[in-house]
Amino acid sequence: MLRIILLGPPGAGKGTQASRISEKYNIPHISTGDIFRKNVKEETALGLKVKEYMNKGSLVPDDLTIQLIEDRLSADDCKNGFLLDGFPRTVYQAEQFDKYLSERNLSIDHVLDIDVKKEELLTRLIGRRVCRNCGATYHVINMPPEKEGVCDVCGGELYQRADDTEATVENRIEVYLAQTKPLIDYYEKSGVISHIDGATGLENVFNDIVDVLGA
Ligand code: ADP
Ligand code: ADP
Ligand code: ZN
């Protein structure tokens, strides 16, 4: 049983590591960003509400986000743990989430804070490419696919996220510093946080995470 929160700025490698953690520990990878993007793509009522916030690189309102995560966590596959990627992102979300957990006698086992410095984040985000079909993530230089523009996993088309442009990326990093970074202190108090250097290469980062979670 593992309940994990991945914390860190946009581009730190949360999604990349989450896929591997999810596979090794057999817990669902729950990315609020992925769920919001799916809703935008399918033009659902939720998607129409969140699209503008996402394109600007602002946060989606807390109430929508908390509702979404509570619905998702009520699914059967979360009974034996979960891996949250991109939630919580504000102190208010974290407080509401703590209430949700304590009402159910649950608690978080690990908060993994992955850190990378700003210049590297910009390079990573602007070079990020994502598979339209399966969501696998690549980087034009750091992790290129075998064939340009084509997903190694499923053959799907790779695209650049609407919010991975230079102007929006700067704003997302500002939003992270102002609204999400305070969560490091918040979780420091509960003693469940571990700090991971996200700039050491994919394998090393994963090994550091496994050292924290246990093999
Ligand atoms: P996040 O989910 O935190 O926004 P991603 O996992 O999508 O970040 O990674 C952002 C970009 O950086 C992607 O293009 C990814 O391929 C690349 N990347 C991820 N981890 C590393 C790493 N350890 N070293 C170099 N590039 C990385
Ligand atoms: P990244 O990890 O690359 O920064 P995500 O895919 O996690 O990006 O998030 C993309 C966008 O989705 C965010 O910029 C924000 O608009 C929205 N979003 C995702 N998770 C949350 C959240 N917990 N609270 C508010 N907005 C969110
Ligand atoms: Zn794919």
pLDDT of residue 1: 85
For all residues of the chain together, what is the average pLDDT? Answer: 97
Enumerate domains of the chain plus CATH numbers: 2-28+75-118+180-213 (3.40.50.300)
> Is 92's C-beta closer than 6 angstroms to any atom of ligand 2?
no
Sheet holding 29-31, edge to edge: 29-31, 81-85, 2-7, 110-115, 193-197
- pTM over 0.95, yes/no: yes
Over residues 137-143, mean pLDDT: 96
Render pLDDT for 149-161 as a digit per residue (tens, 0 to 9): 999 999 999 999 9
> Is 131's C-beta closer than 6 angstroms to any atom of ligand 1?
no
Sheet holding 128-131, edge to edge: 137-139, 128-131, 158-159
pLDDT band at 215 (very low <50, low <70, confident <90, very high): confident
Q: Select from 144, 84, 118 the least CA-distant residue to 199.
A: 118
CA distance 89 to 165: 21
Query: Is the distance from CB of 164 to CB of 122 less than 8 angstroms?
Result: no
Render pLDDT for 160-187 as a digit per residue (tens, 0 to 9): 999 999 989 999 999 999 999 999 999 9
**Which position has the token pair 């209430």?**
99
Render pLDDT for 82-99 as a digit per residue (tens, 0 to 9): 999 999 999 999 999 999
Q: What are the strands, taking DSSP E only, across the chain? A: 2-7, 29-31, 81-85, 110-115, 128-131, 137-139, 158-159, 193-197
* Closest atom of ligand 1 to CA, residue 139: 14
> Is 187's C-beta closer than 6 angstroms to any atom of ligand 2?
no
